[in-house]
Amino acid sequence: MPIFNTQIASELIPVQGVTDQNSLGQLSSTLFLIRQHYTFFPVDLSSVPFVLFFIFSFTGISFLIMRFKKWSNISWLFILSGILLWLAVILVKNAEQPIETLYEVLFSQLVWLGILSLFSLTIFFSNTICVFLLQLGHSPTKKESQRKWLILFGFYAVNLIFSFGHLIYHFQTKTYIPSFVFWISSILLGLYQQHKKQGGHSLFIGLAFLSLSTAFLMLYTSNDPGIRAIETWALICQIIILVLFPLFIIRNFNGLIKLNLPIYKVVDKPQILPTYILFIGVLILGSAFVFALNGGAFHQITAAKYNADGELAQILKDPFLAEINYKQGLIHSKLNAKSNTSLARIAYQENKVEELAYYLSTSQVKFPNEKIAIALSNIYQNENHLFESLFALQSARQKMPESVEILTQLAHTFEKLNQLDSSFYYHQKAFEYDSESVLTRANYIYAIAKLNKNTPLPDIDQTNQDPAILANLWGIGILRNQRISSKSLESSFKPKADVRDLAMIYNSIPYFKHKQKSLPINEMAKDTSILSLFPEIKLAEAMQDYFHQDPLSSLEKIALYIDVQPIDQTQGLQSLLDFWHQASLIPVTSPKISNKSEAKAAVKKYPFQLITLTNAIPFLSKKEGYDASLAALRWNKEVPYFYPLYAFRALEIGEIEYAKEAMNSLKKINPTLFQLNLKPFESQLAAAIQRQKF
């Protein structure tokens, strides 16, 4: 389990594109592309591996106690008394400490016991692979058996050497078996071989529970010095046993070998040298081997123990003790990743940025990790140290040249530095390394749209429904005036509070226009999380209304949206409003109107066409006619013909003062038209006054 993990962060990148055009010209308005990169976050610590460790450790201790009782023939009373005395000593020494301290003390002792068990069991089972190969190579003839043994043990030896070289001396080869595989294979084979034997197995079962629970804890918590120590000790033991085992076999079973008898069946019953001599040899030579390597495995397992203590202290909400333990781990293994990244987590929680960056960069020296590299680059970027961020990523790329995550971050950082060619290059490289990734594909399309508009688009999967890809595809389709084969959104689509979904919706409207079914954007905008994240959802609703033949509703919503925007952000919106307003005034042939339904449809589609309004109003109710004429006048006060149209509708519903006001305004802007409509107006005015008397 890593200390820090990464997650995808999506950004809205506004660009200008032609979203509409007519005889008046072209409308350039904002589109949104999606740019994605990685951010980091600390992973929550889990108590599960520690609970399992306690359970399996106590199980292992129980088996060892039973084995000890059987061997020593001591009564249960003495054994239980000893256990209670041990617990009493711990309680007395920590009587004034909180209960968490008892957990830490018990855990520390259990970890040491687990390490000793692991150390011992690795020795006891160091010969299991050799015994297995001995059995595997046995054949009907002596010559065939010897040939197979030579091949099998030779293959085993070569792999041990490669694995040891890769682990200790960093051989640059991929043709090796991971060191941990040797250890776990020897343990499992040993348990299987013990299971086949008659008699009690409680000693090995107890050691196995303690060993495997300790190894599991190291693996789950990414305790790299512990894992490395296990691997080193396992390889050392197996290399030594590979040398000693043939000598042991020849010394004890030379006669049986000559007769080609299955000696693997009696390998644990030697006649001359007992088996424990073999294990003592492994212990002595292995210990000498460890200290010949400067005690690396010893210091690593000690650092791992302190790391485990530190993690438990963090789980128990004791950061001070956790920090002490992690720093003790650094004393034994300065560059181990676990201590450094754990101290980085503490620095992150305490907002100590310099310490955080130091520990993360130190953890990268021997054990480069793309997630840590991304975390480090993000820290530098957050502090506005873009070049340090870039250097950290370039260093990580040298060690992990095919990491798509690193390439993506490099592209993002270069764009922030305004190095657009370099940014495009790394987006392209990331896509080439993993063309199936929706992130690299979406980012590559973004880079083409934003940074290099002449590059051909990659092949488009028609079934792809990733919102970032579709948002960028439709965005580049508008920018290039290019039709891209893809399905429009269904009216049942429900977005999440995610800028990718919202940008996809926004770009789909000017891309598909009336060919896309109306989306329930009004309902989407009621979601406060969506509205706060993407206020442009209101503008998307207005655009949808316009492209679905409801220009009046569109203009009303755009005007309302402009009213709540800061003044410095309204220029582009005002251009949008003016363009569509003027587009609605372009003369068109009036549709045929013969009933109320056709009249309402015509007024909705052509709200500012005088002839259409004149033909439609007789089919509408008085209130509907009044509303239609009022909207036309309110939006087009410079057009004199809408004044008498409105004035007569106002008289019909008794709004005499409004009618007079409209005619007075007409008198000022177009006296000629006023005179033409004066007599009909006065006649209808008198009738309206007469109606009000009743």
Domains annotated for the chain, with CATH where assigned, are 49-293 (no CATH), 598-693 (1.25.40)
Beta bridge partners of 20: 27
Instruction: Measure the CA–CA gap between 65 and 58, rounded to whole angstroms.
Output: 10
Cβ neighbours of residue 187 under 8 Å, at least 6 residues apart? 121, 122, 125, 128, 208, 211, 212
pLDDT band at 200 (very low <50, low <70, confident <90, very high): low
The DSSP 8-state label assigned to residue 430 in this structure reads H
> Is the CA virtual torsion 30, 32, 33, 38 positive or negative?
positive
Q: Which residue has the tokens 């001359």?
A: 272
Contact of 114 with 210, CB cutoff 8 Å: yes
User: Which tens digit of pLDDT belongs to each residue from 532-543?
Assistant: 999 999 999 999
DSSP state of 464: -
Q: Is residue 189 within 8 Å of 132, Cβ to Cβ?
A: yes
Output the six-digit token pair for 132: 């297995």
Contact at 8 Å (CB) between 635 and 645?
Answer: no
Report which of 155, 119, 120 is spatially closest to residue 136, judged by C-alpha positions: 155
On whether the CB atoms of residues 277 and 255 are closer than 8 A, the answer is no
d(CA 400, CA 644): 76
- 429 contacts 442 by C-beta, under 8 angstroms: no
Q: Which residues contact 285 (CB under 8 A, 6 or more apart)?
A: 240, 244
Backbone angles phi, psi at 607, to 5 degrees: -70, -15
Q: In DSSP terms, which residues pair with 337 in a beta bridge?
A: none
How many CA atoms within 13 Å lie on the side-chain side of 319? Answer: 10
In angstroms, the CA 297 to CA 300 distance is 5
For residue 395, pLDDT over 60 is answered with yes
Helix and strand numbers, DSSP H then E, in the chain: 31, 2
**SS3 call for 176:** coil
Show the DSSP H helices in 221-295 as ranges: 224-258, 275-292
pLDDT of amino acid 584: 92
- Inter-CA distances, 213 with 206, 224, 314, Å: 11, 16, 20
pLDDT at 350 over 80: yes
CA distance 650 to 635: 17
Q: Which residues pair with 438 in a beta bridge?
A: none
Q: Which of 566, 523, 564, 565 has its CA nearest to residue 541?
A: 523
How is residue 26 annotated by DSSP? E
Helix (H, G, I), strand (E, B) or coil at 667: helix
Indicate the angle between helix axes 353-363 and 337-349, nearest 10 degrees: 160
Distance CA 340, CA 3 (A): 10
Contacts of 181 (CB under 8 A, 6+ apart): none
Residue with tokens 């963090």: 314
Q: Rounded CA gap, 137 and 594, in Å?
A: 98
Cα separation, 207 vs 186, whole angstroms: 14
Report pLDDT digits (tens) over 555-601.
Answer: 999 999 998 888 777 778 899 999 999 999 999 888 999 999 999 99
Q: What is the largest CA-CA distance in the chain?
A: 136
363: region left, alpha or beta (phi > 0 left; psi from -120 to 50 alpha): alpha
pLDDT the model gives residue 462: 61
CA atoms within 13 A on the CB side of 593: 24
For 316-367, the DSSP string reads: TT-HHHHHHHHHHHHHH-TT-HHHHHHHHHHHHHTT-HHHHHHHHHHHTTTS
Lowest mean pLDDT among 159-173, 450-464, 598-612, 618-632: 450-464
Q: What is the mean pLDDT of residues 482-501?
A: 89
76 falls in which pLDDT band (50, 70, 90)? confident
b/e sequence 475-487, b meaning 16+ C-beta within 10 Å = bbbbbeeeeeebe
User: How sure is the predictor about 487, in pLDDT bands with cuts at 50, 70 and 90?
Assistant: confident
Mean pLDDT of 16-23: 90
Query: What average pLDDT score do residues 96-120 get?
Result: 89
d(CA 315, CA 224): 19
> For the residues 668-681, what does the mean pLDDT come to?
91
* Structural tokens at position 592: 């045929």
pLDDT at 172 exceeding the cut of 60 = yes
Task: Please answer whether residues 201 and 63 qualify as being in contact, where contact means their C-beta atoms are separated by less than 8 angstroms.
Answer: no
pLDDT of 99 reads 78
Q: How far apart are CA 530 and CA 128, in angstroms?
A: 62
Average pLDDT, the chain: 90
Q: What are phi and psi of 612, to 5 degrees?
A: -60, -45
- Kindly report, residue by residue over 354-373, the tens digit of the pLDDT: 999 999 999 998 888 999 99
Strands (E), 556-692: none
Given a cut of 60, is residue 632 above it in pLDDT?
yes
What mean pLDDT is predicted for residues 607-625?
92
Task: Tell me the mean pLDDT in the region 265-269.
Answer: 82
**Residue positions counted in the chain:** 694
Neighbours of 581 (CB within 10 A): 17
Structure tokens at 558: 């755009």
Give the C-alpha separation, 91 to 98, whole Å. 11
Q: With 70 as the cut, is the pLDDT of residue 694 above it?
A: no
Residues 269 and 267: their CA atoms lie apart, in Å, by 5
Local confidence band at 199 (pLDDT 50, 70, 90 cut-offs): low
CB–CB of 467/475 below 8 Å? Answer: no
Spatial separation of the C-alpha atoms in residues 214 and 59, rounded to whole Å? 13
